Amino acid sequence: MKWSCYTNLEELTEHDDADLDALKRRILVAGLVIFCFMMIIFGRLWFLQIYKGDEYRDRADNNRVRMREIAAPRGNILDTKGREMVTNRPSFNVVLVREDSNDVDELLKKLAVALDLDISELWGKLRDAGSKPRHIPVKLLEDVGWETLAYVENHNQEFPGIRVEAIPARVYHYKNLAAHAIGYLGEISKKELAARDLEIYTGGDLIGKSGLERLREPDLRGEKGSSSSEVNARGFEQQLLKNEEPLPGNDIQLTVDAELQKVAEDLMDAGEKAGAVVAMEVKTGRMLVLASNPVLPLDQFVGGISHKHWNALLENKKHPLINKVVQAMYPPGSTYKMITAMAGLVTGAITKDTVLYCPGHYYFGKRRYHCWKRSGHGAVNLKRAISESCDVYFYQVGLRVGVDKLAEFAGKFGLGHKSGIEMEHEKAGLTPTKKWKKKKYGKKWQEGETLSVAIGQGFNLVTPLQICQMTATIANGGTQYRPQIIEKITDPDGNILEQFEPVVIDTLKDEQRFLKLIREGMEEVVQGKRGTARKVRIKGMTIGGKTGTAQVVRLKQYKHLKEEDIPYKFRDHAWFTCFAPADDPEIAVTVLVEHGLHGGSGAGPVARAMLESYFFERLQQAAEAEKAKGE
């Protein structure tokens, strides 16, 4: 440690004390400076606290300034045509500022008597507020009516500490329309609060809890404003000093068509059907309808959902909390036959003219596999096999290509993986392969299982959105679009912040030349004499479609029963997926009715009504033109 100060010691100690003395004189000067400042500060304290003390005490007592946050109105949600689906209205909460009340218990009792309230509920609210700072308002009553509001405002002198607070609340112009896509709001939880930026959120704030309200929270929430008011000792605001208006959130325009969505939901609702209706523009991937029934009762969530209502939702056997468009998985049933057909055509296992014979059943191994038509279809080619949904035909095609090829083609059409739509908890579905079964069950794949897979039963699982996407890809000639749900985001002044364009995920090349054939088969399903969906026909327009029945269970005990007598939860799911117009498709519609028995009768009419609504003007023109011709 020789390097240290001691080498400097001589140099340092050589100077005489005179220099140090000069420094020390300056230290005295510094001491004097410090003393002067101390005296200035003492003098100022005397001036403020004694000379002007009374004046400042008055100001502190009577003119305290309080800053308050003003909640920002959330952004509006519009449909594709600019119709307002969700906006805001002012709502009024009765709040208590504990700091302004001398006797909170007495105050609450008085309030409970005056407004005829349950005192224990008020005490409960107070208890929940717990250790929050006393100047932070405690919500006593949320979204009160005009009578309560008027009473509290008129008698505010009698209730020091009780105040009315105006905050924006959600208004749902179409009631519960597209409730799963839009989502609901709720009070921010402690966990959410801990995970988020405390400069933006404080306890008691509303935050998106599901759907787009949650996913697009940063766009929708806006910026809080603040107001500063002078309040007197009893907490009454004397004068507004500063008011920083909140900045409303950004508006979100959906691709969803509210009127079309309404048709879908109303029809499902009228038939007390549970399930999903999905419609997509085939040339853009824009989602026009995203309906999941039963709908979420959005209005029950405004101002916090009650325990009773929440439990009712949880216990409902039709699962209203699940967004069946993407969160529920079903066997695709016969809608899968297009995949099997495509696999057969591309691999060369069949051609468009391959004829197979259907006696009503097919022997494989030691088992007999039935066609849905026990009497058999006779000799069928591909087109007929699709239009009449012949199981025996597709059993054989499935066997020829094998389950792994089937899975490969299903994947190309979007089955078995997430579509990437902006919805929560999207399910990927399942397209089984030999490897998958080995991994999952540790067992070898049985060839017999390939037969079930080929007609869309067995391990196959899909979401309604995936079937719609598949239909759209078939209809538009092989372009797979990412399902799009938001059209654009605009700021409150209407300037576009973000415009969403169609996104192509994949373009199918090998399959393209066979798509026309598949479409013709699907056209037969609706337009053909023996098609399974003849009921869906619309005068003036050709439609291509496919029915499907997803088996829930296959129980011997129900075999002899009439369909209506099978218990609800064991009935088959009904699929119908279609596109129109058949010659130049614009829209793909997929309907799934849980336990709806048959595609053609259970799901078809909903799809038909949707097409009629979507093409309403065109159909009318066509009808008029025909009429004119007739005359």
- Binding stretches for other proteins (CB under 8 A): 1, 3-6, 8-13, 15, 19-20, 22-24, 26-27, 30-31, 34, 37-38, 40-42, 44-46, 48-50, 52-57, 59-61, 64-67, 99, 130-135, 193-194, 228, 241-242
What is the Cα–Cα distance from 157 to 284, expressed in whole angstroms? 61
- Quick one: DSSP state of residue 501? -
Q: How far is the CB of 227 from other proteins (least distance, A)?
A: 10
Per DSSP, what are the bridge partners of residue 448?
A: none
Residues whose CB falls within 8 Å of the CB of residue 506, separated by 6 or more in sequence, listed in order: 412, 479, 480
Distance, in Å, from the CA atom of 14 to the CA atom of 75, rounded to the nearest integer, reads: 78
| Nearest-approach distance from CB 214 to other proteins, in angstroms | 22
Handedness of CA 309, 313, 315, 317 (dihedral sign): positive
Residue 454 CB contacts under 8 Å (≥ 6 apart), including other chains: 336, 337, 340, 394, 395, 397, 398, 399, 406
Report CA torsion sign: 540, 546, 551, 554.
positive
Identify which of residues 15 and 444 has a Cβ nearer to other proteins in the complex: 15
* CA 302 – CA 279 distance, rounded (Å): 29
| Closer to other proteins by Cβ: residue 19 or 118 | 19
Check: CB of residue 433 under 8 Å from CB of residue 495: no
Minimum CB distance to other proteins, residue 19 (Å):
7
Gyration radius from the chain CA atoms: 36
How many Cβ atoms sit within 10 Å of the Cβ of residue 22? 9
Instruction: State the minimum distance, in angstroms, from the CB of residue 157 to other proteins.
Output: 21
For other proteins, the closer of residues 31 and 124 by Cβ is 31
To other proteins, the closest distance from the beta carbon of 95 in angstroms equals 15
Helix, strand or coil, per DSSP, at residue 82: coil
- Tell me the C-alpha distance between 451 and 360, whole Å: 15
Minimum Å gap between C-beta 186 and other proteins is 19
Annotation marks residue 227 as catalytic:
no
Our CB check for other proteins shows the closer of 14 and 493 to be 14
In whole angstroms, how close is the CB of 22 to other proteins at the nearest point?
A: 8
Cα dihedral across residues 326, 332, 337, 341: positive or negative: positive
Nearer to other proteins, 130 or 630 (CB): 130
Q: Closest Cα partner for 78 from 462, 496, 406, 489?
A: 489
Q: Which is nearer to other proteins, 231 or 291 (CB)?
A: 231
Catalytic entry in 292, 334, 389, 419? 334
**How many whole angstroms separate alpha carbon 62 and alpha carbon 67?**
15
Measured distance CA(343)–CA(417) in Å, rounded:
18
Least spacing, CB of residue 101 vs other proteins, in Å: 14
Q: Which is nearer to other proteins, 3 or 363 (CB)?
A: 3
Q: How far apart are CA 522 and CA 531, in angstroms?
A: 9
Is the Cβ of residue 233 or residue 553 nearer to other proteins in the bound state? Answer: 233
Which residues have CB under 8 Å from 188's CB, separation 6+? 196, 201, 203, 204, 205, 206, 207
Residues whose CB falls within 8 Å of the CB of residue 159, separated by 6 or more in sequence, listed in order: 107, 110, 111, 152
**Structure tokens belonging to residue 238:** 């004397």
CA 294 to chain centre: 15
Distance CA 182, CA 291 (A): 11
Query: Which is nearer to other proteins, 230 or 269 (by Cβ)?
Result: 230
Minimum distance from residue 250 beta carbon to other proteins (Å): 23
Find the shortest distance in angstroms from Cβ 217 to other proteins: 21
Which CB, 245 or 447, lies closer to other proteins?
Answer: 245
Are 472 and 202 within 8 A, CB to CB? no
Return the exposure string of 495-515: e unless at least 16 CB atoms fall within 10 Å of the residue's CB, then b: eeeeebeeeeeeebeebeebb
Burial class (CB in 10 A: 0-12, 13-18, 19+), 33: exposed
**Positions marked active-site:** 334
